[in-house]
């Protein structure tokens, strides 16, 4: 049996990652492909518990910057071993809302940790689960945060710890993602996410079908 595909969605806050993942899943499933959708941090019982700590201080205190990195990696390692790798081995495709590049962008470029160190820790956490394609949904910080604010209207959900960071932090993250796309052009596909969802979804479908389905 052929190994499945791992496609990760990355981008700044408000880029539309979950929306685009859902639209791609519909197209892939229409082709008869088994698709597993997951997210980071989370995707397992352990990962969801860690998500609560990272997003809303569920443990009752702020994690220090180093703990933040290691908590993300712990959630990731569990997700890879319990969900992603088994799915890939049985031939399913996995679409992940954020993955290892998020740690490099947010904790490396954003928090100021060594980018090389973040990438080393990522490799330890993900093992063989290297993405076949990383879709970078690029949006400028002001529009992204406007979208985040719009999501809050009528909801009781507060901004999480990361969303609440200063705009300067989010700009560093965005520039970090753009640098990663330059460093790894064989894997990254940058998509303009400043537009409406439908044309973005069409661009993503073309990228994915040309790369993996053109001979099928």
pTM of structure:
0.94
Give the residue, 193 or 163, on which the prediction is more confident. 193
Judge whether residue 67 has pLDDT over 90: yes
Q: What are the residue boundaries of the structural domains of the chain, listed by start?
A: 6-213
Residue 1 burial class via C-beta count within 10 angstroms: exposed 0-12, middle 13-18, buried 19 and up: exposed
Q: How confident is the model at residue 141 (pLDDT cuts 50, 70, 90)?
A: very high
CATH number of 6-213: 3.40.50.300
Joined together, the tokens standing for residue 72 give 């993300």
What residues pair up with 82 in beta bridges, in sequence order? none
Q: How far is CA 163 from CA 13, 106, 128, 166, in A?
A: 7, 11, 30, 8
Using the CB atoms, write b or e for 112-144: b if 16+ within 10 Å.
ebebeebbebbeebbeebebbbbbbbbbebeeb
Which is it for strands 6-10 and 93-97: parallel, antiparallel or unpaired? Answer: parallel
Q: If you average pLDDT over every residue of the chain, what do you get?
A: 94
Q: What percent of the chain has pLDDT over 90?
A: 86
pLDDT exceeding 70 applies to what percent of the chain? 96
Confidence of residue 188 (pLDDT cuts 50, 70, 90): very high
CA distance 108 to 133: 21
């Amino acid at each position: 049996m052929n190994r499945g595909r791992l496609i990760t969605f990355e981008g700044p806050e408000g880029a539309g990652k979950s929306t685009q993942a859902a639209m791609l899943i519909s197209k892939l499933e229409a082709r008869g492909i088994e698709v597993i959708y997951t997210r980071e941090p989370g995707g397992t019982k352990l990962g969801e518990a860690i998500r609560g700590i990272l997003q809303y201080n569920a443990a009752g205190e702020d994690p220090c910057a180093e703990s933040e990195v290691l908590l993300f990696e712990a959630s990731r390692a569990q997700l890879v071993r319990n969900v992603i790798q088994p799915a890939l081995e049985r031939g399913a495709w996995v679409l992940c809302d954020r993955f290892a590049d998020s740690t490099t962008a947010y904790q490396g470029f954003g928090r100021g940790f060594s980018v090389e160190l973040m990438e080393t820790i990522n490799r330890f956490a993900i093992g063989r689960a290297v993405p076949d394609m990383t879709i970078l949904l690029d949006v400028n910080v002001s529009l992204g945060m406007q979208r985040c604010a719009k999501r809050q209207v009528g909801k009781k959900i507060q901004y999480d710890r990361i969303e609440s960071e200063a705009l300067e932090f989010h700009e560093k993250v965005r520039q970090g993602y753009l640098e990663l796309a330059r460093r790894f052009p064989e894997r990254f596909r940058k998509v303009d996410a400043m537009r409406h969802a439908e044309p973005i979804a069409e661009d993503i479908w073309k990228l994915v079908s040309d790369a993996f389905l053109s001979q099928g």
